[in-house]
Structure 1
Amino acid sequence: MRLFFRHWPRIAVTLIPLVFALLHAGGVVRLDVLQRLDDILYDARLRATMPRTLDERIVIVDIDEKSLAEVGRWPWGRDKLAALVQELLEQQKAALLGFDVFFPEPDESSGLKRLLQLARNELRDQPGFSERLAQLQGSLDYDAIFAKSLEKQPVVLGYYFTSDSGGLVSGVLPAPVMQQEALRGRPIRFVSYSGYGSNIEPLAGVAALAGHTNPIVEGDGVVRSIPVIAEYKDKYYESLSLAMFRLLTGLPSVEPGFPQEKFLSRNYQGLESILLKQGNKTMALPVDQRVTTLVPFRGPGGPNGGSFRYVSASDVLAKRVAPGQLKDKILLLGTTAPGLLDLRVTPVGEAYPGVEIHANMISGFLDGKVFVKPDYAVGFEVVILFLSGLTLALALPALSAPKAVATSAGVIAALVGLDFWLYSVYGLVLPLATALVMAFTAFALNMSYGYFVESRSKRELANLFGTYVPPELVDEMVKDPDSYTMKASAKELTVMFCDMRGFTKMSETMEPTQLQALLNSVFSRLTDLIRGNRGTIDKYMGDCVMAFWGAPVETPDHASLAVKTSLEMVLAVRELNVEHRAKGLPEIGIGIGLNTGSMCVGDMGSDIRRSYTVIGDAVNLGSRLEGLSKTYGVDTVVSESTRRLSTDFAWQELDKVRVKGKDQAVAIFCPVAALGRPGKEYAAELKEWGLALKAYRDQDWDACDVHLLNLQRMNAQKYLYRLYAERVASLRVLPFDPEWDGATNFETK
């Protein structure tokens, strides 16, 4: 929740593409460019997954340029078509023949109609003419000859529907495969037509079945699907491919397949499938909500496409096809000749033979590989958009740029992977473009907002605090710039004052430039240690550096870090002195004071000059403690509050002191080393010191002297023991004071 409130403007910006995507998916705001992109993605996916193999079961009998050159221009006399049918079905023993050509008008190419007119008019007085015509009439009635060749044969004729405003009709439609009553009153949205062009009655009456050849030409002019069942005047007619598949499988009954979900109402406008039935045998062919099916293209089209075998119709008529080559094959008679205008734009070619569309559809039916856009595609798209969009909106604002790129790429890869898996395994074609565009746009907006808005505030924050705090803390701060401010506030912090000893003497003997170089060298070394332990540099005051821990970045272990830094600084000064001795430079010393307490921290100063600093009584005490380091002959003096919070160190209590301006005495300590570092001898020294300090506060001077003598034998260099020996000598002459608390009063700063 805290993350949400911290990044809510960026989250809101990232959600903008999601809102528009959901409006598009729900049909409230339709963006044609997204539909076009979905089509492009579908086409690319189709081309990438096509088997590109030859289907040996289906052969296309092609009315090609060669056939037109040898047999003559189209339409051919139906006596030739009868001969073609006889050769294919009776001689070659093909299993099935479908026609992707139409016969909407009688064939008058034999001249029979004119001869009959002559017999009735000009030559009616010539009985010999009428008798001879009667003998020839059977051989000149090409429609009858063609009809006889189709009779009782496994033949499916083709016809077409139109959407002309005039509703023109020609020929005879076959019987519909479904009546409106079969839909149980449900308003299924079939592809509907207002007219048709079918075959003449003598042919339509003898063919086993007939099917429409209409593809669906989409807005970009590309054919991707066909209406498996089409509507004309509240009656329902099957496609050529479905009719051929039914005749081939012997499943005469066609019924609507309704979804089985119980929560769907009777007014649900969609079918799940088309059911083909024969007795107890049922086969379901999936369809989308318009009862259409995407064409499962096998590969490039045409005789050289490699998906289906092509046989020239002229070769069949001339008996150049060896007997038995087409046995048990499924044949489709169509054309690839450009002049006959049956070339279509499809996802796999811009001049794709229309007859091969039906061949692909039959192949898909036979293989059970039919692709459809399911009726729940909209719901699926909304869910996917919501999940992916919400994931990006909540995750991206909290991530760095590389992680945001990786997360966005992961979401996009998941979307593509899920879509491809559903397509390849279940044959489901689901929307993808909207989700991809939403993800790309959400990422772009998020990154733009981060760069132009948040990065500016982060740069300002880095510029503001960069001189005070170490870079690694600035890196933490810029992750949540709203949580950091220069506004003054009260916090528990640990403050450090570090003073360089011997600076005044050095300034009297060294050149200013030498002194500057020396001071810069020392302060650089000490500053690196402070910043390396998450400290904030407050200021440099001559030969003194002031720092604090716990702000602006919250640091729970601020006291321990300050003590650790003080030990490292003492060691660093010793190493510097080794270098100085080698270079002939004067040695230096430092005194450090540490105190923990409530302080006011923030941007303070005047209108002319301001700084990020700390003030308060706890700060003043820290400054006093630094001054006491010289008095007690130690490098570091730490208050009781700091020692209490720093349990990782061994300590030596120095005294109880009452500094100027304070009535309450405070215990002061010196860090000896990290816990466990002192040896056994030093542990004995600390134990002896504890006894000496107790005797001192009990005013037992004799016992205190004994302990101090022992301590001086243990560590003769320790000034602290000599200091207390001198105090005992001066206090011994005074009478016992029952009110004395053992504290030392300091009246100067």
Structure 2
Amino acid sequence: FKIRGAKPVSDNIVIIAIDDQSFKELGQWPFPRSYYGKMIENLNRAGAKVIGLDVEFTEPSIPKEDNLLAQASAKAGNIIFVGKVARTKTKAAITTSIVKPIEPLLNNASWGDINTIQDEDNFVRQYNLYQKIGEQRYYSLGIKILEFLEQKRLNHPVDIEDKGKFLKVGNYFINKYKENTAFINYYGPANTFEHYSLETVLDDSNFVTHTEQEFSTSINSFYSYLKNGSFKNKIVLVGATIDELHDLFPTPFYGIGKEKKLVSGIEIHANFLEMVQKDEFITNINTFYFLIGLLVFTILINLIYKFLPPTWNAVLGLLIIFTYGYLNYHLFVKNNLLVPVFEVPTVVVISYVSNLIYQYWQGKKERKFIRNAFSHYVSSEIVDEILKNPKKLKFGGEERTITLLFSDIRDFTSFSEENKSKKVVAVLKEYLSAMVKIIIENKGTVDKFVGDEIMALFGTPYYYEEHSYQACKTAILMMNKLRELQKDWQKRGITPLQIGIGISTGKVIVGNLGSEQIFDYTAIGDTVNIGARLEALNKKYETKNHILISETTYNLVKDRIETKFVDSVILKGKTKPVEVYEVIGLKLPQH
């Protein structure tokens, strides 16, 4: 309602307000009943079609006052008084009583129930059509007014029939929300309908207000209404609009504007009557079909989420929520169709979060499986060496001079976030398979995967002299293979991966350094740290092949590998600078 905003109302329903001005001009509450009798006379003089009087006259007052009101009501013949079906709950049972106007007032008049239904949050969204005691129905003020209008139009009594989904009053068909209620299509906040103060309706030449008495003047406001036809052929509703009389309620428009204004009970009746006369009932979408649709939507959105990366899932989810919100708004404003607001967005959010968690754990599980699987890959020569000397599997290590190769994927975190986990795993598997194959074919041992990084050893477990050359050659072949993969990825619409490689040669402790229960053949030492640092330096130096080697490695391969001096760098944890070289390629043999 707040988003839709107020809607224009017809001018055939007006409200006579028992307001602050009335209290000021008319004196002590309750007002004498003769005042209401005079009000009835003036309104009928002004041509009112029907008068709904939302003031309870259920107990006798001064006989003269009661008689004046009863006479005016009987003469007018168009008055609907109010009463209540009162229910009292005790430990033993619920007792019901009918609290209706005193008998003299019901001569040529009727009455309607004014019980108000408030939801759990105390807002009034439903209109009580009738109260039922046994087989007897006691209809609300609004229904009794509609009954009177139809009887007057048709010039004969009309039946009020409960048809299940709607209540029929003459030619009015009122859609039911629940068993005996209608959902109110509010037209705006408080004071949407034309209001006139009660004292101004009484103020004719025969009535003196406090202001007129105090200043010895004659205002006579009523005559301007008479002249302007303010009440001619209109439904006139009379009721309290001030806090002191405790007949104010929050409605869906509560909180609009700077002030939080409650709506009077009499204006709630006005909204109901306007809705019925305009045939602008709010219809609830069929619950069964909505739940079926929600179930189908839940299945579809989860299927779609499984085939898209998280970023696209988030965009799709927001698009669905905004589209659903607009559709919901459009159906309500244009078709008065009430569709549940939160169910679809809730399904979208829960599905997105659950799929995000699933993709994360599934991706983590699959990547862990790949890393664990590849970590056991070694060359056949190494297997033969281990079979010849099983003692190498025992816990412990020995000092050796070997060469280590480190390679790492650039910006792999961003790549993972931008792509679905299934695609990430597939690309990672393709890349690692190719790189590991090259390492193994060139006498290397895949030590481990540290995140996206490959650590490979050359010259162990069995030693061979040209381990530095084999490591550099392997790096060149890895880069050549990567370029082939990049071309293929581009054709398939996959963002190409970029890597950097660092190679260092030196003394390390190498062997089974896990535990007696868990086998972990690896190397530790300063040379390992240098290799890792060199790989990281590729981010700083924009080298052509992204392969950096240490000074020690360079001295061993310079006759067979084409290189280029890059810089002299003090690595983290070092005090002396280390010369860093870039690998360009293999040197051609001299003839």
Task: Name 1:284's counterpart in structure 2.
Answer: 173
Task: Name 1:165's counterpart in structure 2.
Answer: 89
CA displacement, residues 534-564 of structure 1 (integer Å, 9 cap, x when unaligned):
5999xxxxxxxxxxxxxxxxxxxxxxxxxxx
> Which letter does structure 1 place at the counterpart of 2:363?
S
Change (3 A) 1:534 1:498: farther
Task: Name 1:383's counterpart in structure 2.
Answer: 292
Counterpart secondary structure, 1:103: coil
TM-score (norm: length of structure 1): 0.47
Task: Name 1:155's counterpart in structure 2.
Answer: 79
Change (3 A) 1:229 1:357: same
> Which letter does structure 2 place at the counterpart of 1:242?
I
In the alignment, which of 57, 66, 69 is matched to residue 143 of structure 1? Answer: 66
> Which letter does structure 1 place at the counterpart of 2:335?
Y
* Distance of 1:62 and 1:518 partners within structure 2: 95
The alpha-carbon deviation at position 199 of structure 1 amounts to 0.3
* Distance of 1:193 and 1:59 partners within structure 2: 37
Whether the 8 Å contact between 2:172 and 2:276 is mirrored in structure 1 is no
Aligned length: 408
Q: Which has the higher helix share?
A: 1
Change (3 A) 1:442 1:163: farther
Task: Name 1:132's counterpart in structure 2.
Answer: none
Whether the 8 Å contact between 2:366 and 2:425 is mirrored in structure 1 is no
The alpha-carbon deviation at position 513 of structure 1 amounts to 13
Task: Name 2:481's counterpart in structure 1.
Answer: 527
> Which letter does structure 2 place at the counterpart of 1:441?
I
Q: Percent identity?
A: 20
Whether the 8 Å contact between 1:100 and 1:355 is mirrored in structure 2 is yes
The alpha-carbon deviation at position 469 of structure 1 amounts to 12
The alpha-carbon deviation at position 329 of structure 1 amounts to 2.3
Change (3 A) 1:400 1:74: same
Change (3 A) 1:102 1:477: closer
Change (3 A) 1:193 1:228: farther
Query: Does residue 299 of the first structure (1) align with residue 163 of the second (2)?
Result: no
Change (3 A) 1:534 1:337: closer
Alignment of 1:32-181 (within 5 A): 46-53=1-8, 55-90=10-45, 92-108=46-62, 141-151=64-74, 152-165=76-89
Query: Does residue 225 of the first structure (1) align with residue 118 of the second (2)?
Result: no
TM-score (norm: length of structure 2): 0.59
* Distance of 2:59 and 2:120 partners within structure 1: 32
* Distance of 1:147 and 1:470 partners within structure 2: 94
Whether the 8 Å contact between 2:21 and 2:199 is mirrored in structure 1 is yes
Change (3 A) 1:309 1:391: same
Change (3 A) 1:434 1:517: closer
Whether the 8 Å contact between 1:211 and 1:241 is mirrored in structure 2 is yes
Change (3 A) 1:428 1:236: farther
* Distance of 2:483 and 2:54 partners within structure 1: 88
Whether the 8 Å contact between 2:438 and 2:478 is mirrored in structure 1 is no
More displaced 10-residue stretch of structure 1: 51-60 or 338-347: 51-60
Whether the 8 Å contact between 2:310 and 2:420 is mirrored in structure 1 is no
Alignment of 1:644-659 (within 5 A): none
Task: Name 1:329's counterpart in structure 2.
Answer: 234
Counterpart secondary structure, 1:296: coil
Change (3 A) 1:478 1:419: closer
Whether the 8 Å contact between 1:462 and 1:478 is mirrored in structure 2 is no
Change (3 A) 1:215 1:345: same
> Which letter does structure 2 place at the counterpart of 1:224?
R
Whether the 8 Å contact between 1:193 and 1:231 is mirrored in structure 2 is no
Task: Name 1:455's counterpart in structure 2.
Answer: 363
Alignment of 1:348-363 (within 5 A): 348-349=253-254, 351-363=262-274
Change (3 A) 1:440 1:72: same
Task: Name 2:504's counterpart in structure 1.
Answer: none
> Which letter does structure 2 place at the counterpart of 1:407?
L
Whether the 8 Å contact between 1:58 and 1:330 is mirrored in structure 2 is yes
Change (3 A) 1:414 1:162: farther
The alpha-carbon deviation at position 84 of structure 1 amounts to 0.9
Which structure 2 segments of 5+ residues have no match?
205-220, 255-260, 376-405, 430-436, 443-465, 490-496, 500-543, 545-557, 563-591
Alignment of 1:365-384 (within 5 A): 365-373=276-284, 376-377=286-287, 379-384=288-293
Which structure 1 segments of 5+ residues have no match?
1-45, 113-140, 168-191, 259-270, 487-493, 500-511, 538-571, 573-584, 590-749
Counterpart secondary structure, 2:347: helix
Whether the 8 Å contact between 2:275 and 2:281 is mirrored in structure 1 is yes
CA displacement, residues 451-499 of structure 1 (integer Å, 9 cap, x when unaligned):
3x1232354367577999999999799416898999xxxxxxx999999
* Distance of 1:239 and 1:364 partners within structure 2: 15
Whether the 8 Å contact between 1:61 and 1:334 is mirrored in structure 2 is yes
Whether the 8 Å contact between 2:128 and 2:182 is mirrored in structure 1 is yes
* Distance of 1:223 and 1:365 partners within structure 2: 17
* Distance of 1:514 and 1:529 partners within structure 2: 23
Counterpart secondary structure, 1:194: strand
The alpha-carbon deviation at position 201 of structure 1 amounts to 0.9
* Distance of 2:159 and 2:339 partners within structure 1: 27
Task: Name 1:364's counterpart in structure 2.
Answer: 275
Please tell me the root mean square deviation across aligned C-alpha atoms, in Å. 4.5
* Distance of 2:353 and 2:469 partners within structure 1: 55
In the alignment, which of 179, 194, 203 is matched to residue 96 of structure 2? Answer: 194
Change (3 A) 1:469 1:154: same
The alpha-carbon deviation at position 242 of structure 1 amounts to 2.0
